[in-house]
Structures are given as C-alpha cells and as structure tokens.
Structure 1
Amino acid sequence: MTDTHAHLDRLEAPGEALERARDLRAVLTLGTDTASSEAALGFAEAWPNVYAGVGLHPTEAEAFSQEVAERLRALAAHPRVRASGETGLDYYWDAATPAAQFRVLAFQLELALAHDLVMVFHVRSKDGSDAAERDLEAWLRQHRPPRFVLHAFGGDLRLAETGLELGGYVSFAGNLTYKKNAHLREAAAALPADRLLVETDSPYLPPVPKRGKRNEPAFVRYTLEALALARGVGSGAMERTTDANAERLFRW
C-alpha cells in the first residue's frame, strides 16, 4: 500500500507511526511552509520508504517572499523530493488573498518544471460555494502542469473531469469511508482505475473505524478497502492498482 499524502511533522510520535507503516510501499509527506518542508525532507532522508513534497499551503501564501522562494528552491533539488506542494487554492479560510495564492501557485509550478516534480493540489471553497474549484479548474487549463494530483478529493466532478482530461490523478482520503459521503463513493466507482490514489492526510481525516483518533499512514488500508468496495473489486487488486499508479506518478 501507498500513502500519497501525509504530514508526518504534525504527528505526536512520527517515529512510532512510521514503524507501524514499515510495510507500506511509500509514504509521501508534504510541507506547508519552509519549516515543515525541511522536516519532510528530514523524514525522507531518515526512512527508506518516505519521500517529501516541499511548498507553501495556500493558507500560508501571505508569507511568500524571496527568502522563502530561495529556501524552497534549494530543498526541491534534493533527490528525495518528489512533489511541489502542498499548494492550491483555499477560500474557506481568510488567511491569504486569492492574489497571494495565485503568486504561490505560479512559484510552485516553477519548482515542478525545474525539478520534474508532481504538483499536489489542495482546493477548498466556503460552504455553499465552488469558487476555489472553478478558479483552480481555470488555472489548470491555462497552465497545464505535466504531472499533478487532486488530493483528498471532495467530490467536485467537474474539477475531477478537467484534471483527468489534463492527465492528472485523483486521490481519496479517509472521508471516503464516512457514511454521509455516498457521493464520494459514487465518484470513486466511476473514475478510471489508472488515475486513482489513496492517502491519509495524516493526522487529519481519520477513516472509519479510527474516527476520533489522530490519523497516521498505517490507516491508509481502511481507505483502500473502502475504495475497493466502492468499485466492486478485491482489496488486493485495488492495492496493486493504486501502488502502480503512485509509482508511475511519483517515480519512486
């Protein structure tokens, strides 16, 4: 199994969590600012099945500066770094203006192109709106990043269809297992098998039956099982498919 999105620096005992995840093919841990990007690379250097992503989360976009850019450029050149991000658009929180978020998106694309990295996109609108999804959709069509993933897919099929059309991948997290999210399971059943990934977004979005606990990479198996059930295939077959997809995308 592969956890294509985690934040190991935010776990209370990351070393213990990684011991429990030793059987995973790979864990991608993402930075959301310079400090967490440095921490992500530290995990990737210390653990053979861990790889890193470096970047600024959209809610951190107001912190972008020349100094931040230079530090992230240096980190991105490391061979254990496989992703540019976590980046994207977040209009749910008012932490950064859309203009600042688009500046960071442009920079993250620069990193991806310079170092042949996968762009990892977060997208979230305010409740009742799809403004962030529509803006990211337009950005993708304009800039066409060579390799990217829509992480923790939230169910916007129009964005998913655009992402698939442009060669992207769609990743499902623990919210796929939540009873109320039948629409996510319907989407999971309909999307092409060769573009599907699974993740934890640790320590967030713990899957059933671990709700109420801090998520960790080993719990990715529950999302994988939910994805297999939604698609009517065995867990072993789903594991082979998602592992192969992740290896093809991230090249580990």
Structure 2
Amino acid sequence: MTDTHAHLDRLEAPNEALERARGLRAVLSLGTEPASSAAALEFAEAWPNVYAGVGLHPTEAEAFSDEVTERLRPLAAHPRVRASGETGIDYYWDAASREAQLRVLAFQLELALEHDLVMVFHVRSKDGSDAAERDLEAWLREHRPPRFVLHAFGGDLRLAEAGLELGGYVSFAGNLTYKKNAHLREAAAALPADRLLVETDSPYLPPVPKRGKKNEPAYVRYTLEALALARGVAFEEMERITDENARRLFRW
C-alpha cells in the first residue's frame, strides 16, 4: 500500500504512526509552508519509506515572499523530495486572494520544472460554488504541468476529466468511505485504473471505521478497501494497481 498524501508534522506522535506504517511501500509527507516543508524532509531523511513534498498551501499565499522562495528552493533540490506542493486554489477559507494564489502556483510550477517534481493540487470552493475547480482547470489547461495529481478528489468530474486529458492522476482519501459520498464511489468506479491513487491526508479525513480519530498513514488500507469494492476488484489487485501508479508517478 502507498499513502500518497500525509502531513506527518501535524500528527501528535508521528514516529509512532510511522512505526505502524512500516509495511507501506511509501508515504509522501507534504509541506504547506517552509517550516512544515522542512519537517517533511526531516521525516524523509529518517524513514526509508517516506518522501517529501515542499510548497506553500493556497491558504498561505498571502505570505508568499522572497524569503519564502529562498527557504523552499534548497529544499526542493533534495533527492528525497518528489513533489512541489501542496499547492492549488482554495476559495473556501477566504484566506488569500485569487491573485496571490496564482503567484504561488507560478512559483510551484517553476520548482516542479526545475527539479522534475510532481505538482500536488488542492482545490476547494465555497459550498454551492465551483469557482476554484474552474480556475484550477483553466490554469492546468494553460500551463500543462508535466506530472501532477488532484489530491483528495472531491467529485468534480469536469476537473477530473481535464486532469486525465492532460496526463494527471486522481487521488482518493478517507471521504471515499463516507456513506453520503456515493458520488465519489461512482467516480472511483468510472475513472481509468492506471490514474488512480489513494491517500490519507493525515491527520485529516479519517476513513470509516476510524472516524472521530486522527487519521494516520496506516489507515490508507480502509480507503483502498473502499476503492476496490467500488471497482469490483480484489483488494490485492487494487493494491497492486495503486502501488504501481504511485511508483510510476513519483519515481520512488
């Protein structure tokens, strides 16, 4: 199994969680600003199955500055870093302007191209809107990053179709297991098998039967089980497919 998106620095006892995740082929720990990006790299240096992503989350975009770029650039050059991000577009929290978020996206693309990294995209609109999804779709079509993933897929099929058309991957998190999210399971059943990934987004989005607890990498099993069930294949086959997809995308 592979957890393609976690925030290890936000776990209460990350090393204990990683002990429970020793059987995973890989865990990608993502940064959301310079300090958490550096922490992700520290975990990657300490654990053989952990890799890092460095970036500035869209809700942190107003903090973008020359100092931020100077702190992130050397981290991105490290061989244990495989992703530029978590980045993307977020209009849910009203934390940063659209212009600031687009400036950060341009910088994250620069890092990705310079160091041959995967871009990891977060996207979230306010309830009832799809403005963030449409803006990210337009950005992807204009800039065409060579390798990218739509993380914690929320069900916008138009964005997924654009991502797939441009060579991207789609990752499912613990919300795939929630009873109300039949539309996510329908999407998971329909999307091409060779573009599917699973993740935890630890410590967020804990899957059934761990809801109410902090998520951790070992719980990726439950999302993988839900994905296998949605597609009508054996767990072991779904594990093989998603492990190979992650290996091909992140090159670990």
| TM-score exceeds 0.5 | yes
The aligned counterpart of 2:24 is 24
- TM-score where L is the length of structure 2: 1.00
Q: Residue 71 of structure 1: CA displacement?
A: 1.1
> Does 1:106 pair with 2:106?
yes
Q: Residue 40 of structure 1: CA displacement?
A: 0.2
Q: Residue 29 of structure 1: CA displacement?
A: 0.2
1:94-173 equivalence runs, <5 A: 94-173=94-173
The aligned counterpart of 1:224 is 224
Q: Distance in 2 between matches of 1:239 and 1:178?
A: 20
> Does 1:51 pair with 2:68?
no
Q: Deviations over 1:105-162 (max 9, x none)?
A: 0000000000000000000000000000000000000000000000000000000000
Write the letter of the residue equivalent to 2:93: W
The aligned counterpart of 2:92 is 92
Q: Distance in 1 between matches of 2:136 and 2:49?
A: 31
Cα RMSD between the aligned structures? 0.2
SS for the counterpart of 1:51 is strand
Identity in percent: 89
Q: Deviations over 1:66-98 (max 9, x none)?
A: 111011111000000000000000000111001
1:55-74 equivalence runs, <5 A: 55-74=55-74
The aligned counterpart of 1:240 is 240
Q: Distance in 2 between matches of 1:81 and 1:65?
A: 22
Q: Distance in 2 between matches of 1:163 and 1:215?
A: 27
Q: Residue 59 of structure 1: CA displacement?
A: 0.1
The aligned counterpart of 2:182 is 182
Query: Which contiguous aligned blocks of 4+ residues in structure 1 show a shift greater than 4 angstroms?
Result: none
Q: Deviations over 1:41-78 (max 9, x none)?
A: 00000000000000000000011001110111110000
The aligned counterpart of 1:212 is 212
Q: Distance in 1 between matches of 2:73 and 2:187?
A: 36
